[in-house]
Structure 1
């Protein structure tokens, strides 16, 4: 028997957490094509808060179902190791990267792919494929064991950044000459800014007064302003990583018809936007489009080039704060929820 723990949250109040303990049966209990994975290392950022805030709308609660009524498991990105398997190609010790629960273990039903496997568990069948795919590190050309901390923190966020920047460029920036970015100190936001550098648009970052110095120091934005400052009136696209209705309304009032596009991406203010002026960006949609346009290999090549350019700089921007175990995981979760996480540090939890 294997002892497992799982961190669950109240789906209606994300501050309410509980660590549940149960027992997993022996390897003989695994069905055909199943593998038991032990979660090893994950990152925790404001992006994970978004999974909880819009968990019902997008289906994030369905990836790792919780047993209790009204409870849910927040997904995280990271590394896990196969500890038991009924799949010859995935023996014990195989290390994978992908979408994981806030838990010590989970069972996946594996269908092999050229780079790893897809979890084909029945409850995940209707969910976006990008979240069901797991990369075997020995088959991942982008994997570098010395950069695991950067990968668990940035790779899922940077994929969103890469696809969002591509979406803008693919649509000629909707006629905008300036791209305004809220929560500009957040990792997905400045990853997007890095992808947009040199593409002929002016980048304006909006952030809280306490984060202006850090954000300007990244060297990614042409201008960094505190919330409430005036933005120059010219054709602009707004990338909303904050979900703040106040910031959105102020920008619409200031720019009027010069605000040619308003796109919502993250929800660092923890309120799902219902504002009809904003279009929600769902990264898997652009991923499917570019897979069709470029093919899987072409997409992987383009993303790999962008990722290498990003990681070459990212280690100098943010210090890694290391944590371990479920109790420290809960502490980090509460800090991120409360907005107490510092932009110049990033949290990695080992299990």
Structure 2
């Protein structure tokens, strides 16, 4: 009986999917230092669609090559269990968290670290290191078995929130005391707002009219405005989670010299600008700095504290919809890809 599967998508049309069935590797197929993981629980959000949209530019298709020319495997964040191993420190039954394929299984070449391991497979060598690291749950200060759903949905996004808020505070908000945040209903945006609530700044969230009620209900922003509504003219930092040139242009026109910094988050592309106030935030860069400053353990402890504070509230904000199997995963993928998802609902898939 064939028990393995991989979901491949058409890189030119992400709605085109196919479930490929195959046998997973056996213990005899593994080389030294290799471990076979069985994917157990994953989250799927609009962030995963971004991986597909800009997969060629950033290299996301390179993590899990499969499916032949013109096709690829979308990465997901989630949990997996060791089912075969050649590494004594990673015995069968070990549960890990990290970057996983839309597939039932994954073979990794494990180099042990203090918190888990890094996949050193040749095809991943030139890819961003943060995505190649896996955490063993028994060594993870942020892990709570009862919060796995929240972890697969929020943790990779909240880690960006954590690092972004840290950088803003480290720079004293560039002299501003108001932070304007677009796509304020998105998980990374309101995770950032959660981190900034106690930092003595005024938080203004911008969102679509249909998401104003949800975003206001989070209780994280001092004001929530629909796109197009005028913001107060005062020294402000703009956090651009939307990538909308129109929103950015309107804020520049409205705030003028009071817009002290315009920060594009992550992989949002903005037009080339000579304006010294414009910059981009890329979480792996900040991660490298804070790992050097605090050490890996110090960073893990600080993040763990922030994560526990966030998850104490996050479960109240979003209803989690559960799905099962590759068919459920394809169904959720198509729904998220089509847009218009309810920000008050999030999807978790188990296998």
**TM bucket, shorter chain:** over 0.9
Matched residue, 1:265: 265
In 1: Cα distance, 2:293 partner to 2:91 partner = 35
The answer for the alignment partner of 1:325 in structure 2 is: 325
Q: Identify the range of structure 1 (19-28 vs 127-136) with the bigger mean alpha-carbon deviation.
A: 19-28
Give yes or no for the alignment of 1:310 onto 2:300. no
Q: Which residue of 1 aligns with 2:248?
A: 248
Residue aligning to 2:161: 161
Kindly indicate whether the alpha-carbon contact (under 8 Å) linking 2:161 and 2:192 is maintained by their aligned counterparts in 1. Answer: yes
On the 8 A contact 1:9/1:71 being kept in 2, the answer is yes
2:173 aligned residue:
173
Q: CA RMSD in A?
A: 1.6
Partner deviation per Cα, 1:104-137 (whole Å, 9 max, x = no partner): 1110000111211110001111222211111111
Whether the aligned pair in 2 keeps the contact of 1:8 and 1:20 (CA below 8 Å) is yes
Could you tell which deviates more after superposition, 76-85 or 335-344? 335-344
CA contact under 8 A between 1:50 and 1:266: conserved in structure 2? no
Q: Aligned to 2:22, what secondary structure does the other structure show?
A: strand
Q: Name the SS for the 2:3 alignment partner.
A: strand
Offset from partner CA, 1:56-97 (integer Å, 9 cap, x none): 222211111123212121111110011111111111111111
Distance 1:266 1:3 in 2: 37
Matches within 5 A, 1:38-117: 38-117=38-117
Who is 2:235 aligned against? 235
Task: Say which of 272, 277, 281 aligns to 1:276.
Answer: 272
> Which runs of no fewer than 5 residues in structure 1 stay unpaired?
none
* Distance (whole Å) between structure 2 residues aligned to residue 70 and residue 274 of structure 1: 27
Deviation by residue 1:278-330 (Cα, 9 ceiling, x = unmatched): 53321010011011111222211211111111011111111111011112212
Going from structure 1 to structure 2, the CA distance change for 1:257 and 1:53 (only over 3 Å counts) comes to: farther
1:342 is paired with a residue whose SS is coil
Please name the residue that 1:9 is paired with.
Answer: 9
Distance 1:14 1:244 in 2: 22
> Which deviates more from structure 2 when the two are superposed, residues 190-199 or residues 258-267?
258-267
In 2: Cα distance, 1:246 partner to 1:332 partner: 30
Q: 1:19 to 1:264 in 2, by over 3 A?
A: farther
Q: Distance in 1 between matches of 2:240 and 2:272?
A: 13
Q: What is the CA-CA distance between 1:2 and the residue it aligns to?
A: 5.8
Per the alignment, in what secondary structure is the counterpart of residue 286 of structure 2? helix
Number of the residue aligned with 1:221? 221
| CA distance in structure 2 between the aligned counterparts of 1:25 and 1:79, rounded to whole angstroms | 19
On the 8 A contact 2:264/2:270 being kept in 1, the answer is no
CA pair 274-72 structure 1, distance change in 2 beyond 3 A: farther
Distance 1:48 1:83 in 2: 26
Matched with 2:196 is 196
Q: Contact 1:3–1:23 (CA<8 Å) still a contact in 2?
A: yes
Deviations 1:140-184 (A, max 9, x none): 222111111111111111100000111111112122221111111
Contact map agreement 1:242 1:266 (CA 8 A) in 2: no
Q: Which runs of 5+ in 2 are unaligned?
A: none
Preserved CA contact (<8 Å) 1:115 1:140: yes
Does the 8 Å contact 1:150/1:311 carry over to 2? Answer: yes
Match of 1:37 in 2: 37
Distance 1:9 1:104 in 2: 15
Give TM-score, length-normalised by structure 2: 0.94
Larger displacement relative to structure 2 (231-240 or 153-162): 231-240
Partner in structure 1 of residue 138 of structure 2: 138
Deviation at 1:266, TM superposition (A): 5.7
